[in-house]
Amino acid sequence: MGYYKYIFRDPHFIEAIINTGIFVAISVTLEFIIAFALALLINKKFKGAGALLSLALIPMALPPVAVGAMWSSAFAQNGWLNSLLYRLGLITADGKIPFLAGTEMQSLMLIILIDAWQVIPFMMVILLAGLQNLPKESIEAGYIFGADKFTVLRKITMPMMKPSIQTALILRIIAALQVWLIIVMIYGYRRIPVLVEEVVYYNEIVLGFYRVALAYSVIVSIIVSIVAIIYLKVSGAFESSEG
């Protein structure tokens, strides 16, 4: 129990919970909206849809280590992003943007954008598969009875896609609760504390605190399980499986 008391008294613990909660809420919402919009667009099967799908899947194929290294080099003062902006004439040689010098909240928003770039294709694939399995007759019937595109989407398409939406969201929520590697590779430890980062910090960085890391991992596992159960309960997944 002493290790748990140590964690609960650690100010970084509360900060890690808040940062993780903000990250999950904003990233999952943003990624779902964009992924669903892209899935709807690609599902129209217009000319070039296959090429767009292939390009969109590239970030998903990259491991988190590669993503962290790529964006860490991009946001450096003399990194490739500032160099690109300079070449395009958007900034001057003396006007380089200090991407990594923002507040904790600004840094967290930057991480959310990087994470979205990598994760949106994952959610898009799940939602696109759900869209392609919908019976076209039901959607066409909606138009026949005078419904507009938004009404068909809200009243017919999304309810029928509920299993795919639930799958995409629950997998994304669980993964978002476990984010840490990209943050550490770009900002280092404890610049933006999150729950899993604290586990790694006590296990790898602070010597002799592996039992604290173990206690932290138990807490994180409980939090992930509780969040998953709450989401499944609120979304009605339990009632659907019983039915």
Non-local CB neighbours of 183 within 8 Å, separated by 6+ positions: 111, 191, 192, 194, 197
Non-local CB neighbours of 240 within 8 Å, separated by 6+ positions: 162, 163
234 or 226, greater pLDDT: 226
Taking alpha carbons only, the member of 112, 128, 127 closest to residue 168 is 127
What pLDDT, on a 0 to 100 scale, did the predictor assign at position 66? 92
What pLDDT, on a 0 to 100 scale, did the predictor assign at position 45? 81
pLDDT bin (cut points 50, 70, 90) of residue 243 is: low
Q: How far apart are CA 90 and CA 96, in angstroms?
A: 10
- Token pair for residue 111? 């991480």
In a domain, 180, yes or no: yes
Furthest CA-CA distance within the chain = 69
Q: How far apart are CA 89 and CA 57, in angstroms?
A: 30
Q: ∠86-111-53 over CA atoms, to 5°?
A: 80
- Token pair for residue 57? 């899947």
In a domain, 51, yes or no: yes
238 or 215, greater pLDDT: 215
* Helix orientation angle between 11-43 and 104-132, rounded to the nearest 10 degrees: 40
Q: Is the pLDDT of residue 239 over 70?
A: no
User: What CATH number should be reported for the domain holding residue 105?
Assistant: 1.10.3720.10
- Looking at residue 168, what DSSP letter applies? H
In a domain, 9, yes or no: no
Query: What string of H, E and C letters represents the secondary structure of 76-130?
Result: CCCCHHHHHHHHCCCCCCCCCCCHHHCCHHHHHHHHHHHHHHHHHHHHHHHHHHH
In a domain, 222, yes or no: no
In a domain, 147, yes or no: yes
In a domain, 207, yes or no: no
Tens digit of pLDDT for each residue in 50-61?
Answer: 888 888 889 988
Tens digit of pLDDT for each residue in 159-199?
Answer: 999 999 999 999 999 999 999 999 999 999 999 999 999 99
C-alpha 50: how far from chain center: 24
Tens digit of pLDDT for each residue in 101-148?
Answer: 989 999 999 999 999 999 999 999 999 999 999 988 888 888 888 888
In a domain, 125, yes or no: yes
Instruction: Check: CB of residue 161 under 8 Å from CB of residue 131.
Output: yes
pTM metric for this prediction: 0.92
Q: What is the mean pLDDT of residues 151-158?
A: 92
Q: What is the mean pLDDT of the chain?
A: 91
Non-local CB neighbours of 111 within 8 Å, separated by 6+ positions: 23, 179, 182, 183, 186, 187, 192
In a domain, 63, yes or no: yes
Q: Is the pLDDT of residue 38 over 70?
A: yes
Instruction: Check: CB of residue 127 under 8 Å from CB of residue 35.
Output: yes
Q: How far apart are CA 211 and CA 199, in angstroms?
A: 10
- Token pair for residue 76? 């450096």
Tens digit of pLDDT for each residue in 142-152?
Answer: 888 888 889 99
Q: Which residue range is the domain that position 112 belongs to?
A: 14-194
Number of compact structural domains in the chain: 1
Count of residues in the chain: 243
What pLDDT, on a 0 to 100 scale, did the predictor assign at position 219? 95
